[in-house]
């Protein structure tokens, strides 16, 4: 939108003129959109998880491969962030595999069981939902299978990588 406005500055006090200048300056600026998504600058080093689930590094060149990695959430500021996400992928895959191997393939019940974290405590438990599947969660066809999955994969690994709880030492209880 490009409108012309005529302003008679003679009708304004010095203070009003200063105020107007500030407003005009602010109005001509591009709106700032601070994004929480980090996008590397040209030639900036970033880290990603390769096809073998290893952490690798590259320089941002605005190539299609860079943009594809960014679009799937596979661009990280440092190797520690990438390693964390790599482990998170592994833990999630282990739970999914455990469910696939142990869930009843002919299950026709209404209840599904999910691993949850009790807020405020570093502990997992199993929650039953009736007639509901939770997006992104691994579902189990029995409470026992869900509890066995926690033991198999490791409670501390689940807490650390899926729920973001810093566990100092890994135990499998």
pLDDT digits (tens, 9 = 90+) for 76-121: 999 999 999 999 999 999 999 999 999 999 998 888 999 999 877 7
Q: What is the pLDDT of residue 173?
A: 46
Nearest of 60, 55, 54 to residue 38 by alpha carbon: 60
pLDDT digits (tens, 9 = 90+) for 12-40: 788 887 887 777 777 777 766 677 889 99
Band of residue 168 on the pLDDT scale cut at 50, 70, 90: low
Q: What is the pLDDT of residue 132?
A: 78
Q: What is the pLDDT of residue 92?
A: 97
The H or E element spanning position 69 is helix 64-71
Mean pLDDT of 53-81: 97
What would the DSSP string read from start to end of 115-163? Answer: EEE-TTSS-EEEEEEES---TT---BSSHHHHHHHHHHH-HHHHHHHHH
What are the residue ranges spanned by the domains of the chain?
Answer: 40-77, 79-173
Q: What is the pLDDT of residue 31?
A: 61
pLDDT digits (tens, 9 = 90+) for 136-157: 899 999 999 999 999 999 999 9
CA–CA dist 139, 128 (Å, integer):
10
């Amino acid at each position: 939108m490009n409108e012309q406005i005529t302003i008679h500055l003679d009708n304004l006090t010095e203070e009003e003129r200063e105020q107007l200048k500030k407003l005009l300056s602010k109005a001509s600026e591009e709106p700032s959109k601070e994004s929480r998504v980090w996008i590397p600058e040209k030639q900036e080093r970033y880290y990603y998880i390769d096809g073998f689930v290893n952490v690798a590094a590259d320089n941002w060149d605005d190539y299609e491969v860079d943009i594809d990695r960014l679009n799937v959430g596979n661009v990280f500021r440092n190797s520690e962030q990438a390693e964390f996400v790599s482990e998170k992928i592994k833990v999630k895959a282990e739970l999914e595999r455990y469910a696939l191997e142990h869930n009843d393939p002919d299950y026709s019940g209404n209840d599904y069981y999910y691993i949850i974290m009790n807020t405020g405590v570093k502990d997992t438990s199993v929650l039953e939902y009736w007639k509901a599947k939770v997006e992104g969660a691994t579902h189990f066809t029995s409470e026992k299978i869900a509890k066995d999955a926690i033991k198999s994969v490791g409670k501390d690994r689940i807490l650390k990588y899926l729920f973001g709880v810093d566990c100092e030492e890994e135990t499998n209880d």
